[in-house]
Amino acid sequence: MKQQLIGLFLTLAVAAQGALADADLAYPPPLKPAVQEARAAHLAAELLSRYHYKAVPLDDALSSKVFDQYLRVLDPEKVYFLQSDIDRLAVERTRLDDAILSEDLRAPFDIFNVYERRAVERMAYARSLLHKGFDFASDETLMLDRKGQAWPATEADAQDLWRRRVKNDWLRLKLAGQDDAAIAKVLDKRYDSASKRLGKITGADAFEAFMNAYTMAIEPHTNYLGPRAAANFDISMRLSLAGIGAVLTDIDGYATIRELVAGGPASLSGQLQVGDRIVGVAQGATRPMDDVVGWRLDDTVNLIRGAVGSTVRLDVLPADKGPDAPSKTVVLVRNTIKIQDSAAKAKVYSVATGEGKRLIGVITLPSFYEDVDALRKGDKDYRSAGSDVARLLADLKAQKVDGILMDLRDNGGGSLREAIGLTGLFVGKVPVVQTRNARGTVTVERNVNTGLAWDGPMGVLINRASASASEIFAAAIQDYGRGLIIGEPSFGKGTVQTVASLDQVANNANPVYGELKMTIAQFFRVNGGTTQLRGVTPDIGYLQSGNDTLFGESSFDNALPWTHVKAADYAPVGDITAQLPRLLAWHESRVQRERDYQSLLDDLAKAREQRKNNAISLNEAVRRKERAALEARLTAMLGSEGAAAGDALADDGLQFNERKLSKDLAMEKTRSSVKDVRLNEAVSILSDSVALQEGKSQMAASALSTRPVVVTDLSTAPSKP
């Protein structure tokens, strides 16, 4: 959530600023708090002060932390505010607690309004630079990470900072082959669009930013969700929504169709296609059409969604027509849309070994999702990660795979219940995890719902973004000796959250107060340790990004400390430690011969060096040399295939909504087809493990598992039509 909040404001103001005379600028009207927001803040404070795992009183000390966190949320790179702004706003440092408890939120809104005015000024300054030109022969650099830096002391300091940012934007486009006139046009439009987006920020946005500064000042994984954010969170957990089945993107102020969901009303109608622009939305058969050109995309999406069986009318400009062409009306009946892209999927890899082949089934699980509403209603077929994985395991067993690899990379977690049940598919009905609440009571959480579905060789692939429920699963597999843990150390989140509806607390029938996702417990491994801060350490680690201080639980200065409890009563079901020396030796032997692996290793080293230097050159000759070296590496590694991939994936200096949609989709397709080096090696490692379990303890180099090839692609079918 921290990254989502920071991203909100970074996307609202993209790449450059300064200050012009106030008379030259169109500042948005100051935002003001609503009555329901002030009430929601007070309700949240009561819950947090009493029921949070790390309950702390809302006083001056916490207010000071909220103040600092609020500034980090609004301006994480310290490129908007001046030091004089911070000095002037410091009077509010110990008053934010009073603002919440007195239900008078003028102070946090005043801070937000200062941020917004500064952002407008920075965008205006960015545009003013575009006709002046830049000297790309100088040896200037741009600092990549300013989080630890001081605020700009003067307006001149801020302008110099933004001049470098604009210069970098210009240089990226120049290196991509654009001429000066085209570059100026692209950047002027970019900064102007950013200014317009600033004008679309609402009081609800400001309130949500402040509330999350408050919650994250207590502990990193406690968040406030406004009514719309709460609805989107529910959608992400149940993987379904009521709508038309169209993925939209904002291009030049138009809600543009990026993708049609197969089987959805939009696709089945035959009247819509990718690239069509929605310019109007109306409810039912007779209500008037709302002109949505220039609207925030989330507002348009909210208007298009509705109850299953209800009618929505769309005014549409066809993809191949200009903005002055006649539009057409498309009438659709909303239906339930299954979000298949975020569901569990499986592929079967064939691994050549020199003595035949092995089949490894890979199940990719993006999150531990669960349709809680359906579960509460007693629906036995409710959608969940565990039930989908169980179906995939049955399919993979039917294909006679030799091993199963669970790919939990970038899986940030989800339902604790699903983590426990899914673990049971591999270890049976045993203790899976322990939880300790705020009173210190430790509870052993057993799997009682799912039986053993796979008893063959298995492994788990994790990375730094594998968190929470993913860590519960990986830790249990490791503690029981059930399978190999492969990849990078995980995130290090060892806390449990619950979602509390503030409207229910207030006995309010209408959803206006939002929800609180609040930490209520800490979880521990069955061996008594915790993943908090330290994460899960893989049995075989490789290709580590080395960004632990920037990403992960240890990057938060107010994260809970590592601790431990008494081990649960559990008995390991296997022991893979004897395999590790040979698996590691075979792994090292194999990757020494893999050009793509070695190239990625080199890229990671270069990225670590760049992070260490914390700067990028603004000298054109230096940047061209770096770009040429990258292209040469790709070509050397993959020949013509590498050159083609390099052309498609090279930095074009554009943001996603600045490209033609067709080109953006083509780039997305190319990225998805790029070889997954980490996954391929994990499959090969698991294949070697299968060989050891088959009693083949000595293998010649020619018999080692080699690069896997996909032979079958599976996905889960929806639980219901």
pLDDT digits (tens, 9 = 90+) for 478-520: 999 999 999 999 999 999 999 999 999 999 888 899 999 999 9
Which residue in the list 85, 97, 407, 479 is annotated as catalytic? 479
* Position 605, amino acid: A
Strand 335-338, strand 240-243: pairing: antiparallel
Say yes or no to pLDDT of 14 above 70: no
Instruction: Please report which confidence band the pLDDT of residue 282 belongs to, taking 50, 70 and 90 as the band edges.
Output: very high
* Position 185, amino acid: K
Mean local confidence (pLDDT), 426-439: 97
Instruction: Please report which confidence band the pLDDT of residue 706 belongs to, taking 50, 70 and 90 as the band edges.
Output: low
Identify whether the C-beta of residue 402 lies closer than 8 Å to the C-beta of residue 457.
Answer: yes
Whole-number pLDDT of residue 720: 35
Q: Which two tokens stand for residue 375?
A: 């579960």
The 3-state DSSP class for residue 322 equals coil
Whole-number pLDDT of residue 636: 67
Distance CA 210, CA 74 (A): 9
Task: Express as a percent the part of the chain with pLDDT over 70.
Answer: 92
Q: Give the residue from 195, 166, 180, 223 showing the smallest Cα distance to 16.
A: 166
479 is catalytic: yes
Can you say how many angstroms the Cα of residue 553 is from the centroid of all Cα atoms in its chain? 15
The 3-state DSSP class for residue 359 equals strand
Distance CA 298, CA 315 (A): 17
Map tokens 């006709």 to a residue: 131
Instruction: Please report which confidence band the pLDDT of residue 270 belongs to, taking 50, 70 and 90 as the band edges.
Output: very high
Strands (DSSP E) found in 271-374:
277-283, 290-291, 311-317, 328-333, 335-338, 345-352, 357-364
Residues of the chain with CATH 2.30.42.10: 240-338
Distance CA 185, CA 166 (A): 13
Which residue in the list 327, 367, 468, 554 is annotated as catalytic? 468
Higher confidence at residue 141 or residue 714? 141
Strand 403-407, strand 458-462: pairing: parallel
Predicted structure pTM score: 0.91
Task: Point out the least confidently predicted range of 108-122, 333-347, 523-537, 642-656.
Answer: 642-656
Question: 416-427 vs 469-479: helix axis angle to the nearest 10?
Answer: 30
- For the stretch 439-493, pLDDT in tens is 999 999 999 999 999 999 999 999 999 999 999 999 999 999 999 999 999 999 9
Instruction: Please report which confidence band the pLDDT of residue 432 belongs to, taking 50, 70 and 90 as the band edges.
Output: very high
Say yes or no to pLDDT of 22 above 70: no
Say yes or no to pLDDT of 699 above 70: no
The 3-state DSSP class for residue 410 equals coil
Distance CA 500, CA 424 (A): 28
Identify whether the C-beta of residue 316 lies closer than 8 Å to the C-beta of residue 277.
Answer: yes
Identify whether the C-beta of residue 370 lies closer than 8 Å to the C-beta of residue 414.
Answer: yes
Mean local confidence (pLDDT), 544-556: 82
Instruction: Please report which confidence band the pLDDT of residue 665 belongs to, taking 50, 70 and 90 as the band edges.
Output: confident
Higher confidence at residue 7 or residue 337? 337
What does pLDDT average to over the chain?
A: 90
493 is catalytic: yes
Whole-number pLDDT of residue 656: 81
Of the options 3.90.180.10, 3.90.226.10, 3.30.390.10, 3.40.50.970, the CATH number for the domain spanning 343-496+519-593+699-715: 3.90.226.10
Identify whether the C-beta of residue 237 lies closer than 8 Å to the C-beta of residue 303.
Answer: no
Instruction: Please report which confidence band the pLDDT of residue 648 belongs to, taking 50, 70 and 90 as the band edges.
Output: low
Map tokens 């919440």 to a residue: 100
Which residue in the list 174, 347, 493, 517 is annotated as catalytic? 493
* Position 346, amino acid: A
Say yes or no to pLDDT of 6 above 70: no
- For the stretch 153-203, pLDDT in tens is 999 999 999 999 999 999 999 999 999 999 999 999 999 999 999 999 999
Distance CA 565, CA 23 (A): 63
Q: How far lies 457's CA from each of 229, 342, 393, 479, in Å? A: 40, 26, 13, 15
Task: Point out the least confidently predicted range of 47-56, 392-401, 549-558.
Answer: 549-558
* Position 465, amino acid: A
Residues of the chain with CATH 3.90.226.10: 343-496+519-593+699-715
Mean local confidence (pLDDT), 344-357: 90
- For the stretch 91-100, pLDDT in tens is 999 999 999 9
- For the stretch 674-687, pLDDT in tens is 889 999 999 999 99
Distance CA 184, CA 194 (A): 15
Instruction: Please report which confidence band the pLDDT of residue 2 belongs to, taking 50, 70 and 90 as the band edges.
Output: very low
Tell me the fold of 240-338. Answer: Pdz3 Domain (2.30.42)
